Chain A
Amino acid sequence: MRLIRTDEQRELADATRAFLAGTSPMARVREIAETPGVCHDPDVWRRMAGELGLTGLAVPEEYGGAGFGHGEVAVVMEELGAALTPTPYLASVVLAANVLLALDDEAAAKDLLPGIANGSVIATFAPPVPGDRMPGARAHGDGHTLEGPVPRVLHAADADLILVAATLADEVEDGSGPLAVFAVDPAAPGLTRTELTTLDLTRPQYRLEFDGTPARLVGPSDAGPALERAMDLAAVALAAEQLGGMRRCLDTIVEYAKLRVQFGRYVGSFQGVKHRLADMHCTLEQAESIVRYAAWAADEAPEELPVAAALAQSFMGRAYFQVAKDSLLLHGGIGFTWEHDAHLYYKRAKSDELLLGAPRHHRARLAERLGLVT
């Protein structure tokens, strides 16, 4: 078990951090977040893909990637989470690429992965969240058509390729048949995208409505196990993003507590403040350990991944929100202003906590995977 980064991973983190500091400072993050219709900076994306080679990190070389691991993707996610960069990285490089890899469909992988790996294609995948209704798919000749809504999809307006999970309508029994994955062209007929009002302004989400939309089946007709693996990998990557954001929140408030004076003292010298910061630091230390472990398991211990992923999401969702909330509160009134960045992290933290399903779902999954459910 490896819980500290390799030298290469540290270098990757430094390079990514320096790049984001230059290209995605908070002023730019806000500019994108507050401009309607703009969801990311295509120039930054191109350089992330080309110069830094970040989009193909975990894609095997045979599909045009660099053949590194999920640990490297986690390194990048941590920096993106800290910088709050608006980017389709999670949608494309994490969600879509991992689904395609897990489905084990050689032809589709050869066809679709190289574009994702070199960044020329932005893909997205709508994670099936417990409790959501899935669209239905019907066979038509040698293809399929999709029917029904997908409640939330990340970055659907930027996407050149949309992957969705749908129930095979012909095999449905009382509404819950096996899930299969379909690739959809965003320009296909019968597809409506509606932009949702998101709490987190840096990460756009859309509702999709399919009405006889042609789609290509990718992988087996029961994609259950592949989806599970892809969702576990997404849980790990998201946890890394949460860790990065959490660390930034703590750094920011610690710095402020050393500057702000009330009652003739730095507020950081009051125990009411200091002890909360100490507790936040303890949470961060644990969070980093869990994320390092989960990233290690993703690459090196696939048999541990299901528990590690559920552990990571069960812990990180609450932990990040708690730290982001306390960081905001300890800033005082200025933390409540639009100008201050605290609310951006607070909103990201809450959205992340729910992105792959509510905390109770992660906890229930963890209980199941720990063998508590007989």
Chain B
Amino acid sequence: MTDIEEYGRRARAWLETATAGLPGEPGLQQAREFMARLYDAGYSGITWPEEYGGQGLSVAEERAFQQAAKDFALPVGVFGIGLGMCGPTLLSLGTEEQKRRYIRPLLRGEEIWCQLFSEPGAGSDVASLQTRAVPDGDGWLINGQKVWTSVARQADYGLLIARTDPDAPKHRGITMFIVDMHHPGVTVRPLRDMTGESHFNEIFFDDVEVPADQVVGGVHDGWNAAVTTLLHERVSIGMGATRTERPASFAGVSRRAAERGLTADAAVRDRLVDLYLRERAFDLLNARMAQEVKAGIAPGARGSVIKLLLADLTLFGADVAAEILGPDVVAHDGADAALARALSWAPGMALGGGTNEIMRNIIGDRVLGLPREPQVDRDVPFRELRVGTQKETGK
């Protein structure tokens, strides 16, 4: 057995014990406790630098752990944005002090992070954001509104991007800040989403003071920082996909179809084959990209390929599962609850982290190197732009 296999074997053994006592739907406190145990056992921040609290190991160990973790339902969702996006952004762009201050508690689940990018007027075109940060004594004063922010209610900190120079073109006058979500000027209001639950929120900032040393990646250079976060986001959404069980997976749907005697129908089998093909194609691509990363080839913008395919697969799986299993999915007595939920969840995957259209733009521009669309707003001072949802002005 190689060292890596041995590492994976030990991780699996640890996970078996650690998840044994977990309730079906762990609460926030239990999730935090679990994260602390995961960290103390050395399985959080496996590849992150040791000096900031990581394990300093290679992608091979990370992969081995993920491979083992695939078979367990780990209550780590609430930490996903910190682990997948905010932490990596701080590691690439944060100051020495920021890394020393924030990374360890983030890895240990002591502090939860959220991503404060989208605004009512700025989603796909997040660079047209209107939240303002103005110099105030030694620091900054923030006013404005964010929306669709996942885990904001649980979060202790957020990575926020705000406009610091409205006279510059939109990409050039933005700065990224670390914001204390417990500041009295921060108001978080849950938004009910189509699942009937509240996974995201709207957030209001009224005179929120932020010290100067909480700027990430340089004043007015926040767009670069945001792009760094978004690259991590696509990779982590895609690659994290294997961690959680997909309710509309081929294995799950075909088992239930067989139980109900539906696989005797050749048309049903053919639809199941469609699902298998898409799922396998996605999983194999994911695995191949992981092997490439291990071999030193960075995924870069190809994370968008994974994100787009996962969104498609998620929508397709829920759709096909319902089509095969029939009306019980849409009018159930509890037995098909997971699938009904999957149907309501599916669109979220195709919107959060950038819509399918935006992913296709990125693949076209950055992976295939196609000519960009003409950008009418690129060099215009932000102040003069039309942004967000506007009534037709007749112009």
Interface residues of A (CB under 8 A from B): 1-4, 254, 257-258, 265-266, 268-271, 274-275, 277-279, 281-282, 285-290, 292-293, 311, 314-315, 360, 363-364, 366-367, 370, 372-374
Whether A286 contacts B273 by the Cβ 8 Å rule is: no
Whether A1 contacts B363 by the Cβ 8 Å rule is: no
Select which of B305, B363, B369 is within 8 A of A258 by beta carbon. B369
With A311-B277, A372-B254 as known contacts, state yes or no: A289 contacts B287, CB within 8 Å.
yes
Q: A274-B360, A363-B273 are in contact. List 17 more A-B contacts (CB 8 A).
A: A4-B292, A265-B374, A271-B357, A274-B361, A277-B370, A278-B308, A281-B305, A282-B308, A286-B309, A288-B285, A292-B284, A311-B280, A315-B277, A363-B270, A364-B269, A366-B273, A374-B264
Whether B291 contacts A3 by the Cβ 8 Å rule is: yes
CA of A367 to CA of B262, assembled, Å: 13
In chain B, what residue has the closest Cβ to A291? B284
With A372-B258, A372-B263 as known contacts, state yes or no: A366 contacts B361, CB within 8 Å.
no
Give every chain B residue within 8 A of A269 (Cβ-Cβ): 370-374
CA of A288 to CA of B286, assembled, Å: 12
Closest chain-B Cβ to A292's Cβ sits at a distance in Å of: 6
B interface residue count range (under 10 / 10 to 19 / 20 to 34 / 35 or more):
35 or more
- Quick check: is B77 within 8 A (CB to CB) of the other chain? no
- Quick check: is B152 within 8 A (CB to CB) of the other chain? no
Give every chain B residue within 8 A of A374 (Cβ-Cβ): 258, 263-264
CA of A4 to CA of B292, assembled, Å: 7
CA of A287 to CA of B305, assembled, Å: 13
Whether A278 contacts B309 by the Cβ 8 Å rule is: no
- Quick check: is B364 within 8 A (CB to CB) of the other chain? yes
Give every chain B residue within 8 A of A258 (Cβ-Cβ): 369-371
CA of A287 to CA of B285, assembled, Å: 8
Give every chain A residue within 8 A of B309 (Cβ-Cβ): 282, 286
CA of A341 to CA of B361, assembled, Å: 28
With A258-B370, A277-B370, A282-B363 as known contacts, state yes or no: A293 contacts B273, CB within 8 Å.
no
Closest 10 CB pairs of A and B: A274-B364, A286-B281, A289-B284, A3-B288, A278-B363, A268-B370, A278-B360, A266-B371, A275-B360, A289-B285
CA of A285 to CA of B302, assembled, Å: 10
Closest chain-B Cβ to A332's Cβ sits at a distance in Å of: 16
Q: Digitize B370-386: 1 where CB-to-A-CB distance is under 8 Å, 0 elsewhere.
A: 11111000000000000
CA of A266 to CA of B367, assembled, Å: 17
In chain B, what residue has the closest Cβ to A315? B277
In chain B, what residue has the closest Cβ to A308? B280
